[in-house]
Amino acid sequence: MKNQLWLYVLFISISSFAQEYTRADTLRGSITPGRAWWDVTYYDLKVTVNPSEKSISGSNTISYKVLQPQNTMQIDLQAPMKIDSVVQDGQQISFTSEGNAHFLELEKEQKRGDKNKVTIFFSGKPKIAKRPPWDGGFTWTTDSNGVDFIANANQGIGASLWWPLKDHPSEEPDEGMTISITAPKDVMDVSNGRLKEVIENDSTKTWIWKVENPINAYGVNLSLGDYVHWGEKYMGEKGMLDMDYYVLRENEAKGKKQFKQAPLMMEAFEHWFGPYPFYEDGYKLVEAPYLGMEHQSCVTYGNNFENGYLGRDLSGSGWGLKFDFIIIHESGHEWFANNITNKDVADMWIHEGFTCYSENLFLDYFFGKKASSEYVIGLRKNILNDRPIIGPYNVDGRGSSDIYYKGANILHTIRQLINNDERWRQILRGLNKTFYHQTVTTKQIENYISKESGLELEVFWNQYLRTTKIPKVEYAKDGKLLKFRYTDILNNFKMPVIAVVNGKEEWIDPSANWQTKTFATPVESVEIKQDFYVNSEEVPE
């Protein structure tokens, strides 16, 4: 069994190395000429959902600013969805398509600084998710009363799975968006932002939600179901925050019990990361027919109203059963993913590394530092070191799944190096303030932490984010002497660690060359403190 698992891991590693990128990946993952010249200021998205056909249709009016005069505009929409027509200033616009990228030939002169609008009408049967949220798409299901229960999840595959937009992570509509969902009368829609209006039509209702802040496209969602709603006012760092909850009618009692963790989450994360980044849009936790997703201001939830990750503790330490993984993890993304968003998915460790780490910080806040350490150290067994954390740029390319657990362990290691928890907390809060509502590169995050911590981290980042090598401390005991050095490191890698020598903590500062430290009594036992994500081995003297 163990061998089979090993072979499987090996296979995954080889197949991911062999991945080749296509022109379609470049069109999707880079700032193409058809994208570079215009900046989205607002999306006005209208979608009618037809459950009996498993189809949708609608329009997206894109408001944009012209940065450079150009007339060919790239819009993304994935097959089998199709663009029916495009209109600018009342005129039909022609377009050509290359796979999922569509090139509009705008006729009006696009002058630098102009603010224009273009409306794209679309329809089709969006891809059905086989295994949401990982394999993205729509989930069409019903509750136990046979009422429709429908949602989308499209983190990896992208928002253009169901609506037309500039589908690149560096682009967020600066002034927010409106999401109007028309659906059969027996369900309600919960989308991002705040509910502004409900319009009664003949056999349907239209739910109009307004988002005040820039929003990452994969975070846009619809959630249709026979929901019950309750809410509370949370007195947070920026004042009164509306926290609203929606679960299927049949799960009301379970939801009311389990969702008590949401204000606890808010308390812990505001402490560590600073104010919730979307007070204007409120915070919502909404039941969905899949595990969960960090939809901005509208976190979706499908973790069976129980603690752990589907009832399991991913860390094996026991601490993972002290909280509901989906409430904590997906909400942690409000700070890292939705507030601070990667410009390129190659840097997605910014989303998942920090958010995986937020799980420990939740534990730290309520159960103390030891719980937090045991949890993150426990997660280490899930690290593959198959590929670097950072993926290839400009091709919609992701790094290893190590963005989660290795990302968290890198941050936990930096906390040890800073050795001042208040300072570390101010750095985490500073990140959310400095890069408030921004899209960023990993370099910006690396440089910020290096500068604010006063540590020389350049080689550290390269080692942990850009290679799969984990530094190894080799040591040997020789009477009162302890000898030590690093192997498996990049040139000039330096990082002090704590060695527990005869039961007492001592900082040592290994490098590629052997060094010695003398103790008052013979060195009998040595252990490198586990909080540092390094390997260690005693070698013959």
- Cβ 319 to Zn ion, closest distance in Å? 18
Q: Which of residues 390-419 bind Zn ion (CB under 5 A)?
A: none
C-beta of 155 vs 213, nearer to Zn ion: 155
Binding mask 343-362 for Zn ion (x = CB under 5 A): ---------x--x-------
Residue 394, Cβ neighbours under 10 Å: how many?
16
Residue 33, Cβ neighbours under 10 Å: how many?
12
- Cβ 325 to Zn ion, closest distance in Å? 10
If you search the block for the tokens 């890069």, which residue do you land on? 435
Q: Where are the alpha helices (DSSP H) in 419-526?
A: 421-434, 442-453, 458-466
Sequence-distant (6+) residues with CB within 8 A of 18 are: none
CB burial string 487-521: b at 16+ within 10 A, e below: ebbbeebbbebbbebeeeeeebebeeeeeebebee
Q: Which of residues 443-472 bind Zn ion (CB under 5 A)?
A: none
> How far apart (Å, rounded) are the C-alpha atoms in residues 407 and 409?
5
C-beta of 296 vs 355, nearer to Zn ion: 355
C-beta of 313 vs 352, nearer to Zn ion: 352
C-beta of 41 vs 355, nearer to Zn ion: 355
Residue 469, Cβ neighbours under 10 Å: how many?
16
> How far apart (Å, rounded) are the C-alpha atoms in residues 152 and 224?
10
AA letter at 412:
H
SS3 call for 7: helix
Q: Which of residues 102-161 bind Zn ion (CB under 5 A)?
A: none
- Cβ 47 to Zn ion, closest distance in Å? 25
- Cβ 331 to Zn ion, closest distance in Å? 10
C-beta of 227 vs 354, nearer to Zn ion: 354
Q: How many residues bind Zn ion (CB under 5 A)?
A: 2
- Cβ 156 to Zn ion, closest distance in Å? 11
C-beta of 156 vs 496, nearer to Zn ion: 156
Rounded CA Rg of the chain? 25
- Cβ 391 to Zn ion, closest distance in Å? 16
Sign of CA dihedral 456, 461, 464, 467: negative
Q: In this structure, are residues 151 and 168 in contact, taking their beta carbons and an 8 Å threshold?
A: no
C-beta of 219 vs 275, nearer to Zn ion: 219
Angle at 15 between CA 9 and CA 20, to 5 degrees: 155
Enter the tokens of residue 1. Answer: 């069994």
C-beta of 291 vs 501, nearer to Zn ion: 291
Enter the tokens of residue 375. Answer: 């949890």
- Cβ 355 to Zn ion, closest distance in Å? 5
C-beta of 354 vs 484, nearer to Zn ion: 354
Q: Which residues, in sequence order, are bridge partners of residue 225?
A: 188
- Cβ 292 to Zn ion, closest distance in Å? 9
- Cβ 489 to Zn ion, closest distance in Å? 30
Where along the sequence are the contacts to Zn ion (CB under 5 A)? 352, 355
